[in-house]
């Protein structure tokens, strides 16, 4: 499809990079790694669940009461929210607005229900990645080794892992987290590929077209994908 200079996008929107997985597959570990290596802003969710040992308010989650969460739902303060493992979790709408308005790339560690809501609302700005464990036995080992949940909570998480896995079809990419470094490399590659996609780079071509047109000012386009990482 040909785009005229005046109708094409002139500015790049931010990317909404969603990572989901069954609990224990390593999504939080990987999300932190790729956010760091790719300079993605990690979206800190709101939750009604109690902090685990070592978790910090406003760093891992914003821990709120049920009443506070309900008030935010009523005030339309969430871009998406869902009940997961019996607690409520939600993404603040201002994180998404900031991504879309000033081009900041955000990373969302959210479940499949949240992923679906983001995809439905921002189909062209979202990239959805599902992290798979190498096996169900290894998933169970990781949940037990993490030792942050009670045996009851671990049993509950395993029971719903299958239901979570059934939603892999909603995602653009599947990454197996067997070797952590390899999975991290694959996530880096996905972010870099997305940053080179036509949807995100059309504004660069449009700048060159403007320069090439009679009377166009000189322009040097710089891709935003050049972020150094290991």
Residues making contact with ligand ADP (CB under 6 A): 21, 23-29, 142, 145-146, 177, 180
Helices of type H across the chain: 27-38, 66-74, 93-102, 112-121, 136-146, 151-165, 180-195, 198-212
The partner in contact with residue 84, picked from ligand ADP, ligand 5GP, none with C-beta cut-offs of 5 to 8 angstroms by kind, is ligand 5GP
Residue 183 Cβ, how far from ligand ADP at the closest point, in Å? 6
The single residue listed with the structure tokens 């059309």 is 202
Burial of 162 (0-12, 13-18, 19+ CB in 10 A): exposed
- Residue 45 is a binding residue for ligand 5GP (CB under 6 A): yes
Q: Tell me 92's DSSP state.
A: E
- The listed partner (ligand 5GP, ligand ADP, none) that binds 26, CB under 5 to 8 Å by sort, is ligand ADP
HSE value, Cβ hemisphere, 13 Å, CA-based, for 165? 16
Indicate the residue among 14 and 26 with the shorter CB distance to ligand ADP.
26
Interaction with ligand 5GP in 57-86: which residues (CB under 6 A)? Answer: 80-82, 84-85
For residue 127, the SS3 value is strand
**DSSP-assigned letter for residue 168:** G
Return d(Cα 91, Cα 114) in angstroms, integer.
Answer: 8
Question: Do the Cβ atoms of 17 and 123 come closer than 8 Å?
Answer: no
Nearer to ligand 5GP, 64 or 190 (CB): 64
Which residue from 13, 23, 177, 186 is in contact with ligand 5GP, where contact means CB under 6 A? 23
Contacting ligand 5GP within 97-116 (CB under 6 A): 109-111, 113-114
The whole-angstrom separation of Cα 38 and Cα 40 is: 6
Shortest reach from residue 14's CB to ligand ADP, in Å: 23
Residue 14 binds which of ligand ADP, ligand 5GP, none (CB < 5-8 A, kind-dependent)? none
Q: How far is the CB of 230 from ligand ADP (least distance, A)?
A: 16
Residues in contact with ligand 5GP by CB under 6 A are 20, 23, 45, 49, 80-82, 84-85, 89-91, 109-111, 113-114
């Amino acid at each position: 499809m040909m785009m005229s200079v005046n109708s094409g996008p002139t500015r790049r929107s931010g990317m909404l990079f969603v990572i989901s997985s069954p609990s224990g597959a390593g999504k939080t570990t990987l999300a932190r790694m790729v956010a760091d290596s790719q300079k993605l802003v990690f979206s800190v969710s709101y939750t009604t669940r109690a902090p685990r040992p070592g978790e910090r308010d406003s760093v891992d989650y914003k821990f709120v009461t049920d009443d506070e969460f309900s008030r935010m739902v009523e005030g339309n303060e969430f871009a998406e929210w869902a009940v997961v493992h019996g607690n409520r979790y939600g993404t603040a709408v201002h994180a998404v607005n900031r991504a879309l308005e000033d081009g900041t790339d955000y990373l969302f560690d959210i479940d499949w229900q949240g992923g679906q809501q983001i995809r439905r609302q921002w189909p062209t700005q979202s990239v959805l990645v599902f992290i798979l464990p190498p096996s169900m036995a290894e998933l169970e080992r990781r949940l037990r080794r993490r030792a942050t949940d009670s045996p009851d909570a671990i049993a509950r998480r395993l029971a719903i892992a299958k239901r979570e896995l059934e939603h892999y079809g909603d995602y653009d990419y599947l990454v197996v987290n067997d070797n952590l470094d390899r999975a991290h490399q694959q996530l880096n590659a996905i972010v870099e590929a997305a940053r080179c996609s036509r949807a995100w780079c059309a504004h660069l071509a449009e700048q060159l077209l403007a320069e090439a047109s009679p009377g166009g000012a000189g322009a040097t386009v710089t891709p935003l994908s050049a972020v150094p990482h290991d």
